[in-house]
Amino acid sequence: MLLRLYLTGTTLLICYVLLCCASEHDKRKGEIIHSPPKNADNAIKLMRNGTRADDRRPEAVTRRRKVKKRRRGRTNDSGCTRLGGICQLNRFVCQGRYLTDECSGPQTRLCCMPVGAWSVLCSGHYNNRVRSCDMHGCGAFNSKGGLKRTLDLVCADYGTVSAPFSGSLAGPVSQKDAAGFQYDGVKLVNDEHCVKILNIRPFRYAGTVGPGDPLGYVLPLQERFAGITSHLKLQMCDGADPSPFV
Q: How far, CA to CA in Å, does 205 sit from each of 7, 127, 171, 184? A: 136, 25, 5, 12
What pLDDT is attached to residue 81? Answer: 78
Last residue of a domain, one of 94, 113, 132: 113
171 and 93 part of one domain: no
* Domain co-membership, 237 together with 148: yes
Identify the residue with better confidence: 143 or 198.
Answer: 198
- What secondary structure does DSSP assign to 164-184, as a single string? SSSEEEEEEEEEE-TT--EEE
Query: For position 74, what pLDDT does the model report?
Result: 42
Q: Are residue 158 and residue 240 in the same domain, yes or no? A: yes
In this predicted model, which residue has the larger pLDDT, 49 or 141?
141
Question: Long-range contact list for 170-173, CB < 8 A, 24+ apart?
Answer: 170/194, 170/206, 171/205, 171/206, 172/202, 172/205, 173/198
Domain assignment of residue 221, yes or no: yes
What would the mean pLDDT of 213-220 be, rounded to a whole number? Answer: 94
Average pLDDT over the chain, rounded to an integer: 77
148 and 240, same domain (yes or no): yes
Task: Verify that 84 and 171 share a domain, yes or no.
Answer: no
Residue 160 confidence (pLDDT) above 80: yes
Domain count, the chain: 2
Q: Tell me, yes or no, whether 97 and 185 share the same domain.
A: no
CATH of the domain at 200: 2.70.70.10
Residues 169 and 208 in one domain: yes
pLDDT confidence of residue 189? 95
Would you say residue 208 has pLDDT above 60? Answer: yes
Per this entry, what is the length of the chain? Answer: 246
Tens-digit pLDDT profile for residues 162-185: 999 999 999 999 988 767 778 899
Same domain for 148 and 108: no
Confidence check: pLDDT of 6 > 50 = yes
Sheet strands side by side (includes 214-218): 160-162, 214-218, 200-202
Residues 103 and 153 both lie in one domain? no
- Residue at 56 is within a domain: no
Please report whether residue 236 resides in a domain.
yes
Q: Is residue 4 included in any domain, yes or no? A: no
Same domain, 107 and 199: no
Inside any domain, residue 153: yes
> What is the per-residue pLDDT for 71?
38
- The candidate with the shortest Cα–Cα distance to 142, out of 246, 235, 230, is 235
How large is the average pLDDT for residues 195-210? 95
Domain that holds residue 154: 143-245
Whether residues 179 and 235 share a domain: the answer is yes
Instruction: Name the pLDDT band for 11 (thresholds 50, 70, 90).
Output: confident
Chain segment 15-71, per-residue pLDDT in tens: 666 766 666 656 565 554 454 454 545 544 444 454 444 445 455 444 555 444 443
